[in-house]
Chain A
Amino acid sequence: DQQVKQNSPSLSVQEGRISILNCDYTNSMFDYFLWYKKYPAEGPTFLISISSIKDKNEDGRFTVFLNKSAKHLSLHIVPSQPGDSAVYFCAASAFGNQFYFGTGTSLTVIP
């Protein structure tokens, strides 16, 4: 039961350009969304979050957009840096319960 989907397994972007990572979900009860960044053999690191009452949240180079009608969220990284190269997971939860993770998108930022 894939409630959270990341349809792009990988993405390559030139340094300095924008990286856009996408995530779709099926459960309309989800009210809180997170993006995590993960390096190999390490735990996911929290990046940015958004609740369903907002449609945008910005933190430095990272912005998350939420389109509730389309059940879609995206993470924008501007400008992209080589250190951003990692696997990015989106996750969603309903009413503070467990988070459901997407399968991840591997981002490579090319210097």
Chain B
Amino acid sequence: EPEVTQTPSHQVTQMGQEVILRCVPISNHLYFYWYRQILGQKVEFLVSFYNNEISEKSEIFDDQFSVERPDGSNFTLKIRSTKLEDSAMYFCAILFVTLNTQYFGPGTRLTVL
């Protein structure tokens, strides 16, 4: 099973600040995803990223969000100006193509004060 790590495990920030969440797959993958789960709610899709480009995004993924793969391995989600309602668990996932299955990282808990 592919392994995915995420840093930091918990991020506390002030409203209006920028945060960068990182995802590091253990082996090379081409397909990446970001999801979030607000406490008590369902897991929601944010964006998918294939071959260094966004392939699909949800309406949650507005202009304050961006994704990139700055060094060919890390996969980052940036929130430019955080809002209180951005407080959630953020999960990255990679696609294991042969199984058509997404494997999730442990998540980053983002708390916006």
Contact = CB atoms under 8 A, between A and B. Distances in A.
Interface stretch (B62-70, B73-81, B100-108): B100-108
Nearest to A45: B104
Given A97-B56, A98-B56, A104 B42 contact: yes
Interface in A66-94: 89, 91
A103 B39 CA distance: 11
A16 interface: no
Contacts of A103: 41-42
A107 interface: no
B97 to A, nearest CB: 9
B89 interface: yes
Nearest to A93: B100
Interface string B75-113: 000000000000001010001000111111111010000
